[in-house]
Structure 1
Amino acid sequence: MAIRFAKNRLAGAALCAALAFFAPAMATASPAFEAMLQQAEVVRSSDPAQFDALIGQLNASLASASTRQREQLDYLKAYQLAYSGRFDLGIEAARKLFEESSDVQVRFRAGALMVNSFAVTRDFASGLRYMNETLALIEQIEDPELRHHAWSAAGTISNHVGQYEKGKQFAELMLATEPSARTRCFAEVMRLESLYYLGKANDEIDGITDIARRCSEAGEKIAANFARAFHARLLSDNGQWNEAAILLVPHLPEVEATRYPRLIGEVHSTLAGIYLDSGDAAQADAHARAAIRFSASMVNSAPLVAAYRTLYESALQRGDTAAALAHHINYAEADKAFLDSVKARELAYQEVMTETREKNQTIELLNRENQVLQLREQVSKQSRRNNQLLLALLVVLLGTIALWAWRTKRAQVAFRRLAETDALTGVSNRMHFSHRAEEALAYCRKDGEEVGLVMFDLDEFKSINDRFGHATGDWVLTEVAKVCADVCRKNDRFGRLGGEEFAFLLVGCDLPSSVALAQACRKRIAAIDTSPTGQVFTVTASFGVAGTRACGYDFLVLLSRADDALYQAKHAGRDRVRTHGLESDTTEVAAT
């Protein structure tokens, strides 16, 4: 089976790839401290246990270190935090070095660390911004290994945002400049990733074994096993499941010994798919559960989505519908989160590219303004005619600036609306609704104000699409959004969660009031006149209601409870309202 969700598979290997180069030449300082620093640089990606021990020894000997050595140790500690998964702390430590260090090489390495950490944490906008700032320093860097450092970081985040041609180009820059064995390893694996998603990796499948071997010889076990994972996926895509399993299984102890969750989750999810395709459901389930266990801390990750999908398909194959339903719920939630992250990744790339163009335009405008000022000095001694010409040039420049500012503002508004609004219905999308709901819940928690959450799902919506077409289905979704938006008060939140699911967050509403609003919305939906579509049919919805008095102010908990009630409404016959914690049907509760 071709593993569908693999686009962020190389995050851990790429992080190590961009960061595991030798340190720049050192100034004379404490020889013993310097020796430990150099040793830590050598083993940081190949021997995590020894690296951790050396960092402890360096911290204990800090009093003997020079300023430069302290900054290098600070960088290694930032790397340690990122490698262990504490990216927020690692990014903060690297940011401090980037902003405060007077050593351009330290700033350069810290910038590359942030680029890769932001890539792993899915903050692509910040990563791309720091990529531009870091690459701007490259002309001041003479050490070729440090240049490789920056190209590796740039290639990593380019692959993450789907710019695989750029990722391939950065990898080939590294390979073209006589890299060390480790650098070659990282560059080859990064290039392999780019080729895989460009659909060109099959042309070089015979060389992947050599890539993994060279990485192993260089001591880079993480990169070596990511190469094997890509190799196994290619074999599996070609139907060679046995060969794919034989390639990965012997290296499982080595993979788990790296203690790197993303690699471990990746390999287990790949094996789960392989075993499912080859008919070994027991092994597929075991590896899928292992992938979930190691990937639980990495929300929106491809291994997590692939593992849930394997469990779901395995349960279907053995006829266990209850387990299949439970796994499908997890799979659907993970899949939605992953797709949201893909959209956010694309928006981040467009946003940063727009910012870059705006900065270039600003620089160009400033250059023009400087030219005008210089011209003013020259023509100040000339006649009135020359002065009038200068004034005309200034007017043109101001008009250009005004036009640029207006276009920039319009683009910003358009991007913000695109990021926050559901394109079909015009209401908040899931990401924006969740953000606004969490803000409202936090505010109401402070004041002790009750909040209700109403979640509803259109009944038999797939049947509407199947019978009358997707254009009619889209019309229904738009009409439902209109009639329900009219029910909202000024401070309420309303959004589309995805598909035919919608939700209200009702500020200042107790549970009976929330039920009353749900009833009103249910009746409005049932009253929708479908004749404009040229078809006559009834639109109904099932509602689930939860309140903070019983469920607390945590948004995800509140949404889960409302979803449970919605599930009960569906199973009780649809077109009704159910309240979390009540067994009876609340469809006939009168509005208050």
Structure 2
Amino acid sequence: MAFKILLVSVLTYFVGTVEAYDSEKLDGILDNLEEAIIDSDRASLLISDIDNSKSKFSVEQKARFLLLQGTRELINGNYKKSLIYFENAESLHPSNSLQVSIFLQQATAYVSLLEYQKALDVMSLNSLLVDNLKNMEQKGKVYIRLAGLYLSLQAYEEVKKYSLKASRFKEKLSLKNQCHSKLYFAVSKLKLNKLDGATSAFKDSSEFCKVNGFPLVGAMSMKGLGMVELERGNYLKALELFVGSLNNYQIFQYQLEINHIHALLAETYLGLKQPLKAKEYASFVISLPNETKNLEFKEIAMKVMSELSYQAGDYKQAYDYFVLHQDLSNTLLDDTKAKANAYQMAKFENGEKTREIHLLNKDRELYTAKAELTELQRNNERMMFLLICGSFIVLTLFAINMTLQKRKYKNLAQFDVLTGIYNRGTGQDKAENRYVKDSISGVNFSVILFDLDHFKNINDSYGHAMGDWVLKKVCEVVSIECRSGDIFTRFGGEEFALFMSNTDNDTAKKVAEKCRAQILAIETRYSGHEFTISASFGVATSTVKDLSLDPIIQRADVAMYQSKEHGRDRVSVYSSEVT
């Protein structure tokens, strides 16, 4: 949710009324610019007009004008340019009230530029100024802005703290700011995994915001309730809430939230075992541009698609989606780590150290201050050491888990699930590569195809479970006769292939005879039924005319059907007389 409320948060707080240094008219012009700041064309005209009058501005008015210009650039996404305006405004040393506004907008720009440490440094300085503000309404607004900034930095304890601080001034706050305060508090409960508290808080913010005419924030609260129900596994309830929230977002055409709802709906329909709906919503999210704001949603969608492919038996596609999901997870994890590290550094080095120095200077206890700062530094070093060690352990476990998952999906994509030997695609690819090498070296390459005789009768008479037992038993005994370089493959159903490098016709026939005998000797009474298992074999060897493996397989197939026509349970070697 790092930037879901960026525009709203930028507009919820601006500079209050300042002392008139020149005239009320100049303040009125600045008020007009503040109201028009989101209207690019109108704001540009007003700025052009103000440029002609700014020589008459007081220092405070000049700083306010620079702040509004920087805010306009911030809304338009020109973050670096906005910082130049804010720094120029700060250099004028305006009042505490205006300085607080400048610091808040600077922090917003730094967060947008992913410079989290600088953002937290500015916010730490700002927290000292806020305590000196005498205007309670302005103080409450500042706390709401700080809650929003800490939300974008994923510092949820701080979000909770400042939203609670803002609620203490609710008599002084506008209904809109009260609505935002309640929403931030509810979000902090959800992110801190306090689900019961989150449910109560989201219901409170939803009812309050809807009653007081803020349906967009009400939709955010409804989505929050849906996320709580999704976390609890109450998919039908979550679905109802997400659909209702989506309808409200579509009225406002709030595309960022619409994208998030689609990702959550894909996850919900997966939980409801409705794969077509889950795929529909996940596909929508996957088609979104690969922009930072969409990565969290696409990560959810990739995970859903991986699970859907796995359930459908398409293990290769499941693996591909899983890899994409992990790439996005790693990107998001890196961003989260950067925020966490910046937050810890700011909390233990900037925030706490600044407050300690401030208090100690008041008491003029320089010796005590030096001792406590030394101890604080040691604590910071210990904390950073523990944080680094913890992060290393978590990343190591994460890497091990990902390796195991990749290996699992790779095996599912290459091997036959029932028998454990190569599936047709993998086995034939490996055999084709081996044959190319053998043909270059000029050595023989043989193929043995065999098909179980009357296998359908076994399934019909004793059930498919017995058929599965026969297939596994056949693979077990044939594998004994395979050499280390042979490629044993299930071609489909009850048909198997054995690809043999550096093997002539006679050797291949002997191996086929051994396999036939082993299959015939399988003792079936231990399965609970007594019957005979046999197979018909076809053998073919490469010739100088063969340019690929396919002609050899075709000849082996012809020979195998020759065995079936001559009574089954036999080995036939292809010859030109076989038709």
Measured in 2, the distance between the counterparts of 1:220 and 1:293 equals: 31
C-alpha contact 1:221 1:254 (8 A) present in aligned 2: no
Deviation at 1:18, TM superposition (A): 6.5
Whether 1:349 and 2:343 are equivalent positions in the alignment is: yes
**1:314 aligned residue:** 308
**Equivalent residue in structure 1 for 2:123, among 126, 131, 148:** 131
Could you tell me which amino acid in structure 2 is paired with residue 233 of structure 1? M
Matches within 5 A, 1:163-178: 163-177=155-169, 178=171
**2:192 aligned residue:** 198
**Equivalent residue in structure 2 for 1:58, among 28, 46, 68:** 46
Measured in 1, the distance between the counterparts of 2:246 and 2:11 equals: 28
Residues 206 and 405 from structure 1, CA distance in 2 versus in 1: closer, same or farther, beyond 3 angstroms?
Answer: closer
Deviation at 1:254, TM superposition (A): 3.3
Deviation at 1:79, TM superposition (A): 3.0
Could you tell me which amino acid in structure 1 is paired with residue 247 of structure 2? P
Measured in 1, the distance between the counterparts of 2:105 and 2:174 equals: 20
Q: State the secondary structure of the residue aligned to 1:141.
A: coil
Q: State the secondary structure of the residue aligned to 1:137.
A: helix
Alpha-carbon displacement from aligned partner over 1:322-374 (angstroms, at most 9, x marks no partner): 44333222210111122223333332222122214444555577678x668xx
Whether 1:106 and 2:98 are equivalent positions in the alignment is: yes
**1:228 aligned residue:** 222
**Equivalent residue in structure 1 for 2:107, among 115, 126, 130:** 115
Residues 304 and 366 from structure 1, CA distance in 2 versus in 1: closer, same or farther, beyond 3 angstroms?
Answer: same
Gaps of at least 5 residues in structure 1 are: 1-8, 373-396, 430-456, 467-592
Alpha-carbon displacement from aligned partner over 1:234-286 (angstroms, at most 9, x marks no partner): 2434221431233123124235x346x4x344333223323333344454444
Q: How many residues align?
A: 395
Measured in 2, the distance between the counterparts of 1:206 and 1:233 equals: 13
Measured in 1, the distance between the counterparts of 2:4 and 2:14 equals: 19
Matches within 5 A, 1:465-480: none
**2:244 aligned residue:** 247
Could you tell me which amino acid in structure 2 is paired with residue 251 of structure 1? N
Measured in 2, the distance between the counterparts of 1:341 and 1:273 equals: 23
**2:296 aligned residue:** 302
Alpha-carbon displacement from aligned partner over 1:286-318 (angstroms, at most 9, x marks no partner): 444544566732169533422332333333344
C-alpha contact 2:187 2:198 (8 A) present in aligned 1: no
C-alpha contact 2:225 2:238 (8 A) present in aligned 1: no
Residues 36 and 344 from structure 1, CA distance in 2 versus in 1: closer, same or farther, beyond 3 angstroms?
Answer: same
C-alpha contact 1:181 1:218 (8 A) present in aligned 2: yes
**2:71 aligned residue:** 79
Deviation at 1:111, TM superposition (A): 1.1
Measured in 2, the distance between the counterparts of 1:131 and 1:357 equals: 13
C-alpha contact 1:19 1:112 (8 A) present in aligned 2: no
C-alpha contact 1:18 1:150 (8 A) present in aligned 2: no
- Which piece of structure 1 moves more, 122-131 or 69-78? 69-78
Measured in 2, the distance between the counterparts of 1:165 and 1:254 equals: 33
Deviation at 1:190, TM superposition (A): 0.4
TM-score by length of 1: 0.55
Residues 180 and 330 from structure 1, CA distance in 2 versus in 1: closer, same or farther, beyond 3 angstroms?
Answer: same
**Equivalent residue in structure 2 for 1:147, among 139, 146, 149:** 139
Measured in 2, the distance between the counterparts of 1:415 and 1:236 equals: 35
Deviation at 1:73, TM superposition (A): 4.0
Measured in 2, the distance between the counterparts of 1:39 and 1:279 equals: 54
**2:442 aligned residue:** none
Matches within 5 A, 1:434-473: 462=404
Residues 203 and 125 from structure 1, CA distance in 2 versus in 1: closer, same or farther, beyond 3 angstroms?
Answer: same
C-alpha contact 1:156 1:167 (8 A) present in aligned 2: yes
Residues 365 and 173 from structure 1, CA distance in 2 versus in 1: closer, same or farther, beyond 3 angstroms?
Answer: closer
Deviation at 1:175, TM superposition (A): 2.0
TM-score by length of 2: 0.56
Measured in 2, the distance between the counterparts of 1:24 and 1:196 equals: 33
Could you tell me which amino acid in structure 2 is paired with residue 247 of structure 1? G
Deviation at 1:206, TM superposition (A): 6.4
**1:278 aligned residue:** 272
Could you tell me which amino acid in structure 1 is paired with residue 127 of structure 2? L
Which structure: larger Rg?
2
Measured in 2, the distance between the counterparts of 1:305 and 1:464 equals: 17
Matches within 5 A, 1:340-379: 340-355=334-349, 356-360=351-355, 362=357
Measured in 2, the distance between the counterparts of 1:183 and 1:115 equals: 20
Deviation at 1:406, TM superposition (A): 9.3
C-alpha contact 1:305 1:335 (8 A) present in aligned 2: yes
Residues 462 and 298 from structure 1, CA distance in 2 versus in 1: closer, same or farther, beyond 3 angstroms?
Answer: closer
Q: State the secondary structure of the residue aligned to 2:292.
A: coil
C-alpha contact 2:13 2:141 (8 A) present in aligned 1: yes
Measured in 2, the distance between the counterparts of 1:221 and 1:61 equals: 36
Measured in 2, the distance between the counterparts of 1:307 and 1:34 equals: 50
**1:329 aligned residue:** 323
C-alpha contact 1:15 1:117 (8 A) present in aligned 2: no
Residues 341 and 366 from structure 1, CA distance in 2 versus in 1: closer, same or farther, beyond 3 angstroms?
Answer: same
- Which piece of structure 1 moves more, 237-246 or 34-43? 34-43
Measured in 1, the distance between the counterparts of 2:323 and 2:62 equals: 50
Matches within 5 A, 1:488-527: none
Measured in 1, the distance between the counterparts of 2:220 and 2:128 equals: 30
Q: State the secondary structure of the residue aligned to 1:75.
A: helix
Matches within 5 A, 1:351-430: 351-355=345-349, 356-360=351-355, 362=357, 397=367, 401=370, 408=377, 415=384, 423=392
C-alpha contact 2:36 2:43 (8 A) present in aligned 1: no
**1:186 aligned residue:** 180
**1:446 aligned residue:** none
**Equivalent residue in structure 2 for 1:268, among 239, 262, 265:** 262
Residues 301 and 93 from structure 1, CA distance in 2 versus in 1: closer, same or farther, beyond 3 angstroms?
Answer: farther
Deviation at 1:42, TM superposition (A): 5.1
Measured in 2, the distance between the counterparts of 1:279 and 1:166 equals: 38
Residues 421 and 290 from structure 1, CA distance in 2 versus in 1: closer, same or farther, beyond 3 angstroms?
Answer: same
Measured in 2, the distance between the counterparts of 1:225 and 1:353 equals: 33
Deviation at 1:162, TM superposition (A): 5.3
Residues 152 and 364 from structure 1, CA distance in 2 versus in 1: closer, same or farther, beyond 3 angstroms?
Answer: closer
Alpha-carbon displacement from aligned partner over 1:111-135 (angstroms, at most 9, x marks no partner): 1223344445554332322122112
